[in-house]
Amino acid sequence: MSMTLLKNRSLEDFSGELSSSSAAPGGGSAAALSGALGAALVSMVCRLTIGKKEYEEYEEELKEVLALSEDLRKNLVNAVDVDAGAYGMVMEAFALPKQTEEEKTVRREAIQKAFREACESPRKTSLWCLEVLRLCARVSGKVNLNAASDLGVGANQALAGLEGAVMNVLINLPSIKDEEYTDHLREEVEETEEEGRILKAGVLREVLAYIGGAD
């Protein structure tokens, strides 16, 4: 993988890197990017609404949402690189020497630590994506109707990021020996995913009602 941060690469370069035979960046980075796009669209619809007389009763709330969505966008953009780095830690741990008993112990501990980080990175992504969906639901019906479809796409992107992040948590859990940790994390991400799906469905119902689509 190139030493240049993924977030600073062009779309063409990043998608090319993603399509390569390298294990990182992978689905976790793609999930974070999807969430970042969802947050960006929330920011967009807020900016397209703020200053419009017909929505002035929501202006202060939309300014607050805009600040929150921008923070989430930046967190998720950074997570594109963090996730790729976390998987790199796993590969580095497996490459450690294992000739002596001491080396085997160090290697086992490093592998466990790396897999935890490989879970924590997408876990954070899933929670940030959930926050994006909460913002989508919060502003639904309060933003410029001409941008209704953009809000719907934002909700779709955020849920895609959330679900992708959850998958990246779940695939790493079997490699972690701490059952208390894995049970707790599995329960958390399942609850996160359920809430996210409910929020996205609610937003899309409102959006489709306006643009004349169907469920």
CATH classification of the domain holding 99: 1.20.120.680
Report whether 121 contacts 165 (CB < 8 A). Answer: no
The reported pLDDT for the residue numbered 213 is 53
Domain hosting 198: range is 24-208
Is residue 18 included in any domain, yes or no?
Answer: no
The amino acid present at 45, given as its one-letter code, is V
Is residue 13 included in any domain, yes or no?
Answer: no
At 40-54, the pLDDT tens digits run: 999 999 999 999 999
Is residue 99 included in any domain, yes or no?
Answer: yes
Is residue 14 included in any domain, yes or no?
Answer: no
List, for the chain, all residue ranges whose pLDDT scores fall below the cut of 50.
1-2, 214-215
Overall domain count for the chain = 1
pTM over 0.75: yes
Is residue 93 included in any domain, yes or no?
Answer: yes
The reported pLDDT for the residue numbered 7 is 67
- The helix/strand/coil state of 1 is coil
Is residue 182 included in any domain, yes or no?
Answer: yes
Is residue 213 included in any domain, yes or no?
Answer: no
Task: Name 181's Cβ contacts closer than 8 Å, sequence gap at least 6.
Answer: 116
The reported pLDDT for the residue numbered 4 is 65
- C-alpha distances (whole Å) from 177 to each of 115, 116, 159, 174, 190 are 10, 10, 29, 7, 20
Is residue 215 included in any domain, yes or no?
Answer: no
The reported pLDDT for the residue numbered 1 is 46
Closest CA to 173 of 185, 164, 165: 185
Cα-Cα-Cα-Cα dihedral of 59, 64, 67, 68, to 10°?
A: -130
